[in-house]
Structure 1
């Protein structure tokens, strides 16, 4: 079945690199397929749109521009905070920290720099502003059940591990 824009359940194997480089930033090759319901915003829009019309067993290299991946870098997402807020943390430039956002969601920040008074952190996704090259193979494609279409959960939401922390996910 060709993948449709909405309510197809798709399983893919992927590898992603920053466009123009050879370094793999994420991959699920040799692991569980990434399964998701099309049209639910579970993966980045550029990848989801490129999968429409592909069939099971088909492979493709898909270039996703930054605007259709994790967006452009937002300069307002860089903040300077007092170092006291990082008490007990062995700070290092470039390290990733996880905190809690305004609505209770987990947020990821990168330490840009610090001194003895303050810490500069960046809330932008680490891949913001970057074009991505996905090598994708469609492992499965089927019509979503009514439950899956309604909930967006593969298998009707019964503890499915459909969307981990992979690069393709939101």
Structure 2
């Protein structure tokens, strides 16, 4: 029977970007989530909708249904003095709170003697995703 709203889905996945595996839980603990609750990206929910228990499927998701387009305006250059005491490394994920007390994350993309470039885009923004999904159970 195909997945319906509010059912618990247990699955394993392999995520590829440009034919390169970037994440997987194949041969590891599967993930579990409530279908239709927004716990996974919309494109993946749409892709598994007609799947049944025991089924395997490759699902291609455009960036628009994953983490959105890459937005150049979400990158900024900040004075390095703002990061005093932090051993900055390119690729490092920094966390802070915005004026609404929400946690925001930024990736360090460049470090010079006096400036740091941080990127607030999701690390997978602008990427088309390819998932291999194995549905273990639908409860």
| TM-score over 0.5 for the pair | yes
Could you list the runs of 4 or more consecutive aligned residues of structure 1 that deviate by over 6 angstroms after TM superposition?
A: none
Alpha-carbon displacement from aligned partner over 1:104-156 (angstroms, at most 9, x marks no partner): 343321111122222110010111000011010001112xxxxxxxxxxxxxx
The root-mean-square deviation of aligned C-alpha atoms, in Å, is: 1.5
Out of 26, 29, 49, which is 2:26 matched to? 29
Provide the secondary structure at the position in 1 that maps to 2:78.
strand
Provide the secondary structure at the position in 1 that maps to 2:37.
coil
Q: Give the Cα separation in 2 of the matches to 1:103 and 1:7.
A: 30
Q: After TM superposition, give the deviation of residue 53 of structure 1 in Å.
A: 1.3
1:10 aligns with 2:9: yes
1:87 aligns with 2:84: yes
Q: After TM superposition, give the deviation of residue 99 of structure 1 in Å.
A: 2.7
Partner residue, 1:156: none
Q: Structure 1 residues 99 and 10 mapped into 2: Cα distance closer, same or farther (>3 Å)?
A: same
Aligned residues: 139
Provide the secondary structure at the position in 2 that maps to 1:48.
helix
Greater share of residues in strand: 2
Partner residue, 1:49: 46
Provide the secondary structure at the position in 2 that maps to 1:26.
strand
Provide the secondary structure at the position in 2 that maps to 1:108.
strand
Q: Give the Cα separation in 1 of the matches to 2:99 and 2:9.
A: 32
TM superposition score normalised by structure 2: 0.91
Q: Give the Cα separation in 2 of the matches to 1:119 and 1:101.
A: 18
Q: After TM superposition, give the deviation of residue 28 of structure 1 in Å.
A: 1.5
Partner residue, 2:137: 140
Provide the secondary structure at the position in 2 that maps to 1:73.
coil
Q: After TM superposition, give the deviation of residue 95 of structure 1 in Å.
A: 2.5
TM superposition score normalised by structure 1: 0.75
